Structure 1
Amino acid sequence: MSADNAVDAAPAPDDEGRRRGLRRIDLRRLGRAALLGPGGREWGLPAGGRGQRVPDAIEHLAKVHRLRHPGVGAAGIETLRRAYLLAESSHRGQMRKSGEPYITHPLAVTLILAELGAETTTLTASLLHDTVEDTEVTLDQVREEFGEEVCYLVDGVTKLERVDYGAAAEPETFRKMLVATGSDVRVMSIKLADRLHNMRTLGVMRPDKQARIAKVTRDVLIPLAERLGVQALKSELEDLVFAILHPEEYARTRAMIRANSVRPDPLAAVADAVRAVLREAGIAAEVAIRPRHTVSVHRVLLKRGADELGGCEFGRILVLVAEDADCYAVLGELHTCFIPVIAEFKDFIAAPKFNLYQSLHTAVADEEGRIAEVLVRTRQMHRVAEAGVIALGNPHTVDEPPQAADGERVDPTQPGWLSRLLEWQRDAPDPDTFWTALRADLAQDREVTVFSAHGGDTTGTIRLPAGASCVDAAYALHGEAGHACVGARVNGRLAPLRSKLRDGDIVQILLDETGASGPSADWLEHVRTPAARIAVTRWLELHPVPPADEEPAARAERPAYSADTAAEDEPVAVTDLAGAAVRLARCCTPVPPDEVTGFVIRGGTVAVHREECPTAVRMIGAGREPVPVRWRGGRPAGAGFRATLLAEALGRPRLLADLTEAIAGQGVGIVSASVEPPQEHRVRHTYTVELPDAEALPSLMRAMRSVPGVYDVYRAQRAMAAARR
């Protein structure tokens, strides 16, 4: 938790007027004030030792806290004072790398939380959040002096020792914090404020350490701030990370913002027009211009694909009203008196985001064609939009939260995504697996809601990350019983397990009641949730499938022959190894006159591969000794040769019918066929065919190439080799 850095970067001249995040703390002034006690004297020095009174640091914190919570009494302020005294005395003598007293860090973190409206218990724990980790103070002492809640919060944000955990200390610390957050989200609130102050003061660190901390902030802390709805923290963290990891793009974007700030703001004229419309309609509302932060401007640039932005694109108009109904009244006036851009309308009041966010989004054009984005929300929605769960106060002082029909928590201070995260982390004991899965899970920034069905009846809802498949739904609904999933119905129709689910879909998972089925390695290409990925990976590790070239000879689809037993006229591959059975490898389907080589596999069988087969190349590279094999001439009675061919063509109607007709016209049987989805009007067909003899292969390929639209036909091995390079 502790940060060795300490110097605040000075904001750009236009930052203070345009910043929508949190007010920065002057650490130089704060560091001096933090050393002063009540009555204006320095700790450990006689009164008047300096000859100049400096305000006590706790007074500023108390002032901010009372401003956000007017009902805070003397007892609450006294608790903060005692916590500050314990923190200051415990950290006394500790300095940050910049030379500032260490107490400036917990005090700055607490002021950040106070400005967001955190209640007294959170502020108390924030003042003490580094004492157990960095001083001689114990959790028992914190519990005795400040109670169980404060002790729990302090313990939740205390890092695990690298001495005990080694390289796993960081992921295991985050696991510990997330588990604690599952019971009390205030743990993560303190961690986010702590990271914000550390990021603000990262300048004294080595560049490599700055980059490492910034990447963890980007991959873990910023997504957590987004999910907890703490937009004020998230936006500033994004800007700080952007400045470290992409300094050139950051500098260009900041220069663009500064250049726009000295020009007349066209949004001001649109905002005045909005005020006039609402005043005439008798709707009491506050109308303000909300500048975009740096990363937001950069995203708009990328979205537009332009080098410059229009004046109205550097900010949005914010309309605050008293009641929900007023939001829709404002929307009606805007769409009546201005030209609405319908594609930009979103109703996050009727359908809130999963991170508590509520607002109406729209865009309108005025008479001069200036298009402005407008956000409409109540003042309470605005507080929650800025501070998220912090604005909701102490989760332990509210009544028991209601439950949704599917058991999903409705209580926003204990969100469903966190419950699901806590469930799958139990199945990831390995720190590296947990760390990778956590980053992947947090990278999913959108959710879809689907309905589960059984026997035609809807039984509940499931929330999944956008892009989740039927396999994800199977594990979300059935846990490890999802291993037996053999199919799915989506909206009443059979659908492939790889099908991506969309908002409002009704999904029914079909399970193999015999338990004989299990996951396929292909499932890993379709799953998006860590729970499903971990479950499938673990099952595959416990049930390894032998490679195709090492399957027992008894499972071969064609009879095996040896040089001693083969009849003179049987065209098989033979080997000089006495008594060895021979089988043709199914990965490359060799046929005469292919150049071939062999390898002894389980049971003493010799598997015959084409010489350019990647499997053969891999086995030689691994030190496997090849066995000489050769073809025998002649034709066996009733026997044939299998080969896999790929045909690439321009997509058109009847292509499949024409290709199968061409194959049948050569007297060749089709064992299996598949068609890949079209890509840029091109399609690929794969056919496994049974040839009457090896000489039929060239003529078959010529016949397939003659089909209109087909521009290439080749053996499967070429595609495999290209994929493995």
Structure 2
Amino acid sequence: MSKIALAKRWKTRLSELLEALGKAVPDHASRFSALSRVLESYLDEAAVADIYQATLYGADAHKGQKRLSGEAYIHHPIAVAQILGEMRMDSRTIIAAILHDVVEDTGITLEQIGARFGDDVAVLVDGVSKVSQLESRKHAEAESFRKMFMAMAKDIRVIIIKLADRLHNMHTLDSLDDVRKRRIARQTLEIYAPIANRLGMRELSQKLEDLSLINLYPKRYRAIEKKVKAAKRSRKPVVNQACENIRDKLALNGLTAEVYGREKNIFSIYRKMRQKRLSLKEVKDINAIRIITEKRPHCYQALGVIHQLYKPRPESFKDYIAIPKINGYQSLHTVVVGPYGQPVEVQIRSQSMHRAAEQGVASHWLYKTETTGEHAPQQLAQQWLNSFLESQHMSSDSGDYLEHLKADLFPDEVYVFTPKGDIKRLPRGATALDFAYSVHSGVGDHCIGALINQAAVPLHEKLSNGDHVEVKTSRQARPIPQWLDYAVTSKARASIRHYLRQQKGRESLRLGRKLLRGALSNQGYRKVRIPSADKANLLEHLGLDGWERLLIDIGFGKRLPTLVAKQLIAESAAQQQHRPQNQPQNQPQNQFVANDQKQPILTIEGTERLLITYASCCHPIPGDNIIGTTTSGRGLVVHQSNCKNCKVIMRQPDNYFHLSWSAATKGNFQVVLDVETQNEPGVLATISNIIAEHNSNINNLTVEQELRHTANMRFIIEVANRKHLAAILRQLHAEPSVIKLTRG
């Protein structure tokens, strides 16, 4: 029988599907019939026949499986297909939606799906399927999103299916316990709803937001819902009158447009209350008026007519047509003083803009004549995906990936201009540093400052709409950990972390080599170079695949250099014992000597920024006698030799080292000064000025009034070395208001 003939018998063969679904379910017929009515309204008979076959296949695969609600499992994929059918998605997407859980929950393989329904359907199903063979839920979640985004970049329909799947799941959360319900709702609110919004699918995004809110905070949701219903009744005369006046005025000016009132969704009201710290009574713009014109030029004509009819509020006009939002949203927004002196928000857009605003990337399938210009949602979505994936290929950490994803889904944005006049869209709160990385990762890595509107600003300066931004760079500049404190965009944060990881790896390699050589020397190992055979045997014993990996672990503090040295010496001795007597000796027999010398001293140069930590208990500075101990993740921790914690450290001789400062040590080092002063006006300014005169920064200050006439001050300042500190102390001692001065 042909596909078309099979499609014509669609409704007459429902009994076959009902048997697969299970007769105990009372609403199966109506659900399936509803899907068939939607599909038959826009798909040809052959496509409907393919979907029919996929539905039977899925029903058979899921036969006997039930959801927690008790209904047959196949009802869920049918419901997802229904949502996609209402978006008028193509038949291949509908088939993939019906089969989207088959691989994950049954014994069917992707190869079987590809052979039966085509490789394109198998790719879509694979993109939607989760990564579940991982122990950590957080890691599995991150890897599932990573996999999904990779598939999205190849075919955007993957995320459209996933969003429809999540929408139906959100409608059926009642069968779950409160913990799972809240976890799913929070994930939806933090990731899926913003993804839908980022793809321009405003209608679906708002549904997900409201469903998340009612499951997270049901009382708040119902309170706002009640307020919206009351406002609708009270504001109805105002909105209706304004709509009628606008229609008449537009008609007088020869403009044809659809004019109607609309309500904001519950979550958008809740978000506004939180962001602006408003009570329910203080939220006034619950209702708005939407005007849909035939073409783009008519939008501006309609705006002029409305501003003639009602006075606009200053600073309330936004032109998202000339400068679309980052997801392709285009509309004119204005707030006018409407009937009875009530403020009314008005949104004006063309018919094509309205379709794109509501359906986003899905409008490509919903309206086949949809334009594909530079601001079309599908083009912008593809650009975003490519940019996001490009920045994330450097991120290997699951936590980083989810953090970057959430940052990139930031709903609000600012629009700034490059020196050439191009527009850059960045998340609200973005800084000059984010702008630098948006230009190019190489620009970001070497930036030292910026000009905003021709004024010099630091990299942490936040950007505002309309700013003209120019980045200043230097070849010597490099990312530092502090940049992560004010970088907002995922691209900037991923690039900075990638550089720091590489730099930390290089520093830990150098430090690990230095620590191991010192430990070997202390054990009496006198070889200038460690033989390759000894290295290979030790790596095999430790289960590592490279010598550099071992040195990096030592530098990071993951392995004790003294223990590694002992293992290496033991491996070398074992090799020597098993060497045949007549084999030539490449090395002198006297490889190890008695360790009657002092432990070798490692030199600190002050340039090891990431793998050396200066202990906050004693704040060592160049010139102090120092020792060090390795700590996992922190590398080498440096203490003063007379630090109170040294007694504990020295109880573990395998894990502490005698250190010295290089004569070429450079940098700024923190030191604590405790100053007892007379409690009199101007004393703090006097001490601060003395410190500043010596080119020292004050990083922290606490003041306590000990007695009526005295005060205790604790300064944390930066110095280059003991000589620099001594100069400051001498001048402070000479100050009459200083009673007592000690180094903390």
- The two structures have a TM-score, normalised by structure 1, of 0.68
Could you tell me how far 1:660 is from its partner in structure 2? 9.4
8 A Cα contact 1:113 1:193, kept in partner: yes
Q: 2:694 aligns with which of 665, 670, 678?
A: 670
Q: Could you report, residue by residue, the CA deviation over 1:21-43 in whole angstroms, capped at 9, with x for unpaired residues?
A: xxxxxxxxxxxxxxx96355354
Change (3 A) 1:487 1:279: closer
Amino acid in structure 1 at the alignment position of 2:496: R
Letter of the aligned partner of 1:122 in structure 2?
Answer: T
| Alpha-carbon distance change, 368 to 466 in structure 1, aligned in 2, over 3 angstroms | closer
Match of 1:386 in 2: 358
**Selected match of 1:347 from 301, 319, 334:** 319
Classify 1:350/1:413 alpha carbon distance in 2 versus 1 (closer, same or farther; 3 Å). Answer: closer
In the alignment, which of 202, 208, 211 is matched to residue 240 of structure 1? 211
Which aligned pairs between 1:83-482 and structure 2 lie closer than 5 A? 83-162=54-133, 168-263=139-234, 265=236, 266-302=238-274, 305-309=277-281, 313-393=285-365, 412=379, 414-443=381-410, 445-446=412-413, 448-451=415-418, 458=420, 463-479=425-441
- The code of the aligned residue for 1:129 comes to H
Instruction: Find out whether 1:697 has 2:697 as its counterpart.
Output: no
**Alignment-mate amino acid for residue 700 of structure 1:** E
Q: Is the 1:161–1:169 contact (alpha carbons within 8 Å) kept by the matching residues of 2?
A: yes
Number of paired residues?
590
Inter-CA distance 447–175: structure 2 relative to 1 (3 Å threshold): farther
8 Å CA contact 1:471, 1:532 repeated in 2: no
Q: Which has the higher helix share?
A: 2
CA distance in 2, matches of 1:412, 1:363: 31
- The alpha-carbon distance between structure 1 residues 301 and 484, as it changes in their structure 2 partners (threshold 3 A), is closer
Give the match's secondary structure for 1:341.
coil
RMSD of aligned alpha carbons? 5.0
Partner of 2:38: 64
Q: Quick one: distance in 2 between partners of 1:153 and 1:670?
A: 66
Asked if the contact 2:394–2:495 (Cα under 8 Å) also holds between the matched residues in 1, the reply is no
Aligned partners of 1:260 and 1:311 also within 8 Å: no
Deviations 1:361-400 (A, max 9, x none): 111112420111111111221111111101112999999x
Do structure 1's residue 81 and structure 2's residue 52 form an aligned pair?
yes
Identify if the C-alpha distance between structure 1 residues 189 and 43 changes in structure 2 by more than 3 Å, giving closer, same or farther. closer
Is 2:62 the partner of 1:38?
A: no
Partner of 1:567: none
CA-CA distance at 1:671 after TM superposition: 3.2
> How many angstroms does 1:485 deviate by?
4.5
Q: 1:691 to 1:600 in 2, by over 3 A?
A: closer
- Distance verdict in 2 for CA 1:662–1:383, change over 3 Å: closer
Cα distance in 2, alignment partners of residues 304 and 352 from structure 1: 24
Counterpart among 482, 497, 502 of residue 459 in structure 2? 497
Q: Which amino acid aligns with 1:96?
A: R
User: 1:539-618 counterparts in 2 under 5 A?
Assistant: 539-544=502-507, 600-601=627-628, 608=640
Secondary structure of 2:696's match?
Answer: strand
Change (3 A) 1:115 1:608: same
Determine if contact 1:183/1:414 at 8 Å carries over to the other structure: no
Q: Taking structure 2 as the reference length, what is the TM-score of the superposition?
A: 0.67
1:589–1:213 distance in 2 versus 1, CA, 3 Å: closer
Unaligned 5+ runs, structure 1: 1-35, 553-576, 592-596, 628-641, 648-654, 677-683, 706-712, 718-725
| CA deviation profile, 1:636-669 (whole Å, cap 9, x unmatched) | xxxxxx977799xxxxxxx9xx8699649xxx95
Q: Is the 8 A contact 2:232 2:287 kept in 1?
A: no
Cross-structure match for 2:570: none
Distance apart, 1:314 and its partner CA: 2.4
3-state SS of paired residue (1:393): helix
- What percent identity do the matched residue pairs reach? 29
Q: Distance in 1 between matches of 2:136 and 2:283?
A: 52
In the alignment, the residues of structure 2 paired with residue 447 and residue 249 of structure 1 have an alpha-carbon distance, to the nearest angstrom, of 30
- 1:322-368 superposed Cα distances (whole Å, 9 cap, x missing partner): 11111111111111110111322111111111111111111111242
Kindly provide the amino acid, as one letter, of the partner of residue 696 in structure 2. Answer: S
Following the alignment from structure 1 to structure 2, what is the Cα–Cα distance between the partners of residues 169 and 661?
53
User: Which amino acid in structure 1 is aligned with residue 390 of structure 2?
Assistant: E
What SS does the corresponding residue of 1:344 show, helix, strand or coil?
A: coil
- 1:534 pairs, out of 492, 497, 500, with 497
- Displacement of 1:178: 0.5
Unaligned runs of 5+ in 2: 1-9, 516-597, 605-612, 630-636, 657-669, 676-681, 701-714
* 2:485 corresponds to: 525
Q: Distance in 2 between matches of 1:336 and 1:358?
A: 23
Residues 376 and 201 (structure 1), Cα distance of their counterparts in 2 relative to 1, 3 Å cut: same
Cα distance between partner residues in 2 of 1:365 and 1:95? 55
Cα distance in 2 between the residues matched to 1:545 and 1:700:
45
Q: Relative to structure 1, is the Cα distance of residues 687 and 382 closer, same or farther in structure 2, using a 3 angstrom cutoff? A: same
Query: In the alignment, which residue of structure 1 is the partner of 2:663?
Result: none
How big is the shift at 1:419?
Answer: 1.2
SS of 1:377's partner is strand
